[in-house]
Structure 1
Amino acid sequence: MTAPPCEDVAVRAEGLTKRYGKTYALDDCDLVLPSGHVVALVGPNGAGKTTLLRLISGLLRPTSGRVSVLGVTAPAGTVDIADTAAALARVGYVAQEHPLYRRFTVSELLRFGRELNPGWDADLGRERLADLDIPLDRRAAELSGGQQAQVALVLALAKRPRLLVLDEPLAQLDPLARREFLSTLMAAVAEDGITVLFSSHVVSELERVCDWLVLIAGGRIHLSSDVDTLLADHRLLVGPRNGHDETLGSAEGVLTVALGARHVNVVARTGTGPVSPGWEAHPLGLEDLVHAYLQHARTAPPAPAKEVRLP
């Protein structure tokens, strides 16, 4: 897709690389995320998701490359956004562990946040916690996992960020707590129009809230596009076996091929046009599309598939 103009870009990464010794956590990544979207960041364990989120949030320094956040680029002589307080003041971050000072009460956590953040909105924090029935006098250690996740999210939102970065916030939550967390998140998105970058393995939950997808595997960005376009452009094709099916996997636009006794199932970028005679086209859900791209990424270079026409 064509990159949006600079004023509409929440995150821009160019050649972003993070290396630990000889191991690359991220390898020469380019990425443009438009503002105002809820972005799903997906990939297998060890793909580089947390590294990317921490670089964007200023918690890590890249080995090379540069990242711009909300139009602010690291100043000359530096390589990362961590040296730019103007950008970091507008970024909220929630880690997978929902780290809170366990001996602090919720009220003390709010007061602590106020002291650290110049744009702190104390009323917003208290109102959201009241809506969630979370007592202000309760210590963090005494809260359930779901309540701790909600408090961590409210603390990030009370900062009044323009970009909210969430690293696997649903991983340790039960289904009800997940829905409550996502409900709080989407209410904030609707009210404040913030950009959200959301890493999670729970693709079925992401499908309900996200409108932009970034797929990362092996430390490389393999896909970045709006969800509606992706779902419209990709389909499951079902056709007859013809003796040449083994070559389908190398065709442009083909992501996966599954051979049956009489039929072959192909996930491919086909566009919206008609398919070849003898083939049937079926729509894909986001979870099926993500799984197809992850399978494709194991052997393919990080480039978007082109449209395909099957014989």
Structure 2
Amino acid sequence: MDIVLETDQLGKRYGRAWALRDCSLRLPAGRVAALVGPNGAGKSTLLHLAVGLLRPDAGAVRVFGQAPYDNIAVLSDIGFVAQDTPLYRDFTAGELFTMGAKLNQRFDLAMAHHRLTQIGIPRDKAVGKLSGGQRAQVALALAMAKRPRLLLLDEPVASIDPLARREFLQALIGVVAETGTTVLLSSHLLADLERTCDYLIVLHTSQVRLTGGVDALIAGHRQLVGPRHGDRPPSGVAHVVRATHTDRQSTLLVRTDGPIHDPAWTAHDVTLEDIILAYLGDGDTQSGRTHAAWGAPA
């Protein structure tokens, strides 16, 4: 399996505070991956390290097997849409495409113009006068016209309306289907990610909490509802991700390593959003009386 992006104990520090620490992950080629985490988890820092805008203070980051910092050979294969899609607002889309063609040897000018024609965005209007959704589409067209092997997107649709967001994601899926580009998409919008992505990376407190293919992760997690007794989950549970207790009942979101046969417990399917929120939570919550926690690694 080809690995496009790999980090090994990667860390970045601002002053005395670590924005990213002990971050280890591997992103397989051909995936559309969601990068999820709360504000301050290190998502933007990870993307900036991957695209060579920052140097690591610990560990290593490799893109296509090489360090990206000051590496023209690697950077030419990376497309990047930064948070808030920063563009030269006085330039028209056509002028931005002309600049892109002069700065990138493989820039596909015809593809960039075709993308905007398909979605009805004018090429002769200053991008500062376009809507937020239109600017996001221009930024995506610029990034994809590089013909990148890896596309990094940092919250590209966070500030645009639902219709524009849907159009952007549809365009992204269409372009990826045509080119086979690997995508790493950072976003807080979990419902959008569930419709778009087939791979998941969860960052929390500057570290990786979970990675894997979406289908496999959903198949490997269950919500269990059963009686409140003892401190051990039933057989078939690898570990408890999150537990909620009342005096009589426990509700567990678990990662499984086999079937759940205990008749005292009822198993329910979970969504990707359920899994993400569980891994971003504090693990154990209780209502009513205080009980012993379900001690299990995350």
TM-score by length of structure 1 reads 0.87
CA shift digits 1:257-297 (9 cap, x unpaired): 11235422100012451331211100100001100011147
TM-superposed deviation, 1:147: 0.3
Of the three residues 12, 18, 23, the one matched with 2:17 is: 23
Could you say if the C-alpha distance between residues 298 and 178 of structure 1 is closer, same or farther in structure 2, counting changes exceeding 3 Å? farther
For 1:254 and 1:304, locate their aligned partners in 2 and report how far apart those are by CA, in whole Å. Answer: 7
User: Partners in 2 of 1:298 and 1:276 — Cα distance?
Assistant: 22
> Residues 128-143 of structure 1: matches in 2 within 5 Å?
128-143=115-130
Look up the equivalent residue of 1:275 and give its one-letter code.
H
**Are 1:91 and 2:73 counterparts?**
no
Distance, in Å, in 2 between the alignment partners of 1:304 and 1:70 is 32
Alpha-carbon separation, structure 1, partners of 2:261 and 2:163: 42
Distance (whole Å) between structure 2 residues aligned to residue 193 and residue 304 of structure 1: 36
2:291 is matched with none
> Structure 1 residue 59: deviation in Å?
1.1
Provide, for residues 136-164 of structure 1, a one-character-per-residue CA deviation record: whole Å limited to 9, x for no partner: 11101110010000000110000110000
1:297–1:21 Cα change, 3 Å: farther
Partner of 2:26: 32
1:59 corresponds to 2:46: no
1:254 aligns with 2:254: no
Is 2:61 aligned against 1:100?
no
AA in 2 matched with 1:257: A
Q: Distance in 2 between matches of 1:287 and 1:209?
A: 13
Of the structure 1 ranges 59-68 and 95-104, higher mean CA displacement relative to structure 2 is found in 59-68
Q: How many residues align?
A: 285
Of 107, 112, 115, which residue of structure 1 is paired with 2:99?
112
Which residue is 2:193 aligned to? 206
**2:249 corresponding residue in structure 1:** 263
SS at match of 1:14: strand
| Alignment CA distance shift 1:129-1:255 (3 Å) | same
Q: CA RMSD in A?
A: 1.9
What amino acid is aligned across from residue 259 of structure 1 in structure 2?
Answer: H
CA distance in 1: counterparts of 2:247 and 2:19, whole angstroms: 41
* Equivalent residue, structure 2, for 1:277: 263
Picking from 279, 288, 292, the partner of 1:293 is 279
Partner of 2:289: none
Distance in 2 between the 1:297 and 1:101 partners?
Answer: 44
What are the Cα deviations for residues 98-122 of structure 1, in whole angstroms up to 9, with x where unaligned? 1110110111111111111111000
Query: What CA deviation, in whole Å up to 9, does each residue of 1:152-209 have, x standing for no partner?
Result: 0110000110000000111101110110000000001100000000000001100001
TM-superposed deviation, 1:230: 0.6
Unpaired segments ≥5 residues, structure 1: 75-80, 306-311
Bigger shift: residues 56-65 or 174-183: 56-65
Equivalent residue number for residue 192 of structure 1: 179
Q: 1:297 to 1:53 in 2, by over 3 A?
A: farther
Percent sequence identity over matched residues?
51
After TM superposition, the structure 1 stretch with the greater mean CA deviation from structure 2, 12-21 or 48-57, is 12-21
In 2, Cα distance between equivalents of 1:21 and 1:106: 38
Structure 2 residue 143 is the aligned partner of structure 1 residue 163: no
Task: Write the mapping of 1:42-57 to structure 2, written as runs, cut at 5 A.
Answer: 42-57=36-51
- Within 2, Cα distance between the matches of 1:304 and 1:83? 39
Does the 8 A contact of 1:222 with 1:297 survive in 2? no
What amino acid sits opposite 1:160 in the alignment?
A: R
Q: Displaced runs of 4+ in structure 1, greater than 3 A?
A: 296-299
- Larger mean Cα displacement after TM superposition, 55-64 or 43-52: 55-64
Q: Deviation of residue 26 (structure 1)? A: 1.0
Letter in 2 for 1:282: H
